[in-house]
Amino acid sequence: MIQKANKKYLGLDNVVFALWILNLFKPDWILAYYVPGLEFVRTIPTVILYAAFIYLLISGRKIVLDKPYLIYLFASLATAIFAYNTGISRQVFRYVAESMVLYILTISVVEDERSIDRLFTIYVLSFAFYGIWGITSGGRVPFHVNMNNEDAFGPFMAMGVPMAFFFAHRMGSISYRSISVFVICVIGVVASFARGAFLSLCSGIVYIWYLYHRKIAAFFSVVIIFMVILASSSIIFKESSYWDEMSTIIDAHKADVGDLGRQYLWTSAVKMFLAHPIEGVGPRNYGIVLPRFTTPEQIEPRGIRYSEIYGRVPHNIYMQILAEMGIIGSVAFLLLVTIFFKRNRITRRAYEVLNKRSRFGHFEQKPDGTDDIRKYYYLAIATQGAFIIYLVNGLFYDLLYFHWFSDLLILNSLVYQASRKRALNMADVHRTVCN
């Protein structure tokens, strides 16, 4: 019966993987960028997404719904309704809705260990794809709507450092293909010339050191990272220009961002929140509303015209969600982050308990399924590492409405869902984890 079910939905499985490839590698964006006449191809992934969702609904297969993300979807809708510019906010709601559809498709269809590993492989390879493209293009990816700026390319590369490193260890033996992706990501951070990305990279290094149980190997890994940083910075940039830029990190909050400065932008976000504490000013409305909270006398001494502040962003996802989505959106966002870490902890705890009991003689031999639990453990800490880097990057960059956030939520839910199913077949571990 199981084999027949798998064959029945095999086509949908492949469609989901195709959607992830389209979502991550953006072949439609590449075509539209280099052949402007093919702009229409950018609608194809959306058509496939909804067609696959409709097929899932009529197929009779069990649909798995992630309630925390559904709450976030409703929060996006509620805040969009009361936005200053509802047109722009509707675009954000559409993005969240499409992310929700991909979320449902993925966790409903991708179930077995081999499929999960395949999806993670696709995700890790996307770091290599953009890393090589960005390194050879001066620290940015020209065709990508977001990563055509170093302030998006650098953060993405930083996310790939812990992701690729721990993914390489999921099978027991080290995958050198994934380690090469890890090295590419380190070089990519350097090539971006972004101070916030460098800080995120440093937090990734600390994360690797803290969670990698082989401390000697962790030490040499950290040494290799710094060697790669030193070598790549001296090759890509002249003399000490890279380190001269990084030395200004301490005063980064005072540094100019289009001649306004982050401190000024963050203060304006607080003013917006205080004026609209419940619903905010609306998703993506910060830059539209900013002139209402600014006077010419406040910005003209900075050498910038009043008309030039339209469309700015606060360069901080926490200030942005506070200003744009108020308490409604902030609570929904905080719920997603909290649930992420809770699920991740449960996934990791299953292997930690099993490994500890085996080490101290509670099992004469490890139960069947231990290798799967181990793999899920490493996938969990890889995903958590990328998520932490995303949150750190969020202190400096406008990343709130990037699909990276929802992608990591989906991957984390997949691993959590699969590890729990495996743990249910290992009652001794399951009882310990749940208690």
* Exposed / middle / buried, residue 3 (Cβ in 10 Å: 0-12, 13-18, 19+): exposed
Cα separation, 57 vs 68, whole angstroms: 21
Looking at the structure, do residues 9 and 156 belong to the same domain, yes or no? Answer: no
Looking at the structure, do residues 93 and 196 belong to the same domain, yes or no? Answer: no
Looking at the structure, do residues 244 and 379 belong to the same domain, yes or no? Answer: no
Low-confidence ranges of the chain (pLDDT < 70): 1-10, 250-260, 300-303, 306-307, 354-371, 423-435
Looking at the structure, do residues 44 and 72 belong to the same domain, yes or no? Answer: no
Question: In this predicted structure, what is the pLDDT of residue 430?
Answer: 46
Looking at the structure, do residues 120 and 103 belong to the same domain, yes or no? Answer: no
Looking at the structure, do residues 270 and 384 belong to the same domain, yes or no? Answer: yes
Q: Can you list the alpha helix ranges (DSSP code H) found in 64-175?
A: 67-81, 86-109, 113-135, 150-167
Q: Which of 113, 146, 69 is nearest to 408 (CA)?
A: 69
Question: In this predicted structure, what is the pLDDT of residue 10?
Answer: 52
Question: In this predicted structure, what is the pLDDT of residue 350?
Answer: 78
Looking at the structure, do residues 122 and 244 belong to the same domain, yes or no? Answer: yes
Question: In this predicted structure, what is the pLDDT of residue 352?
Answer: 75
Question: In this predicted structure, what is the pLDDT of residue 374?
Answer: 83
Looking at the structure, do residues 82 and 151 belong to the same domain, yes or no? Answer: no
Looking at the structure, do residues 353 and 432 belong to the same domain, yes or no? Answer: yes
Question: In this predicted structure, what is the pLDDT of residue 424?
Answer: 60
Q: Can you list the alpha helix ranges (DSSP code H) found in 360-403?
A: 370-393
> Per-residue pLDDT tens for 392-415?
999 989 999 999 999 999 999 999
Looking at the structure, do residues 47 and 87 belong to the same domain, yes or no? Answer: no
Q: Crossing angle of helices 150-167/195-211, nearest 10°?
A: 10
- The total domain count for the chain is 3
> Per-residue pLDDT tens for 101-124?
999 999 999 988 889 999 999 999
Looking at the structure, do residues 213 and 350 belong to the same domain, yes or no? Answer: no
Name residue, tokens 């700015």.
312
> Per-residue pLDDT tens for 300-315?
666 677 667 788 889 9
* Residue ending a domain, choose from 257, 278, 311: 257
Looking at the structure, do residues 335 and 427 belong to the same domain, yes or no? Answer: yes
Provide the domain limits for residue 130. Answer: 115-257
* Exposed / middle / buried, residue 4 (Cβ in 10 Å: 0-12, 13-18, 19+): exposed
pTM for the whole structure: 0.90
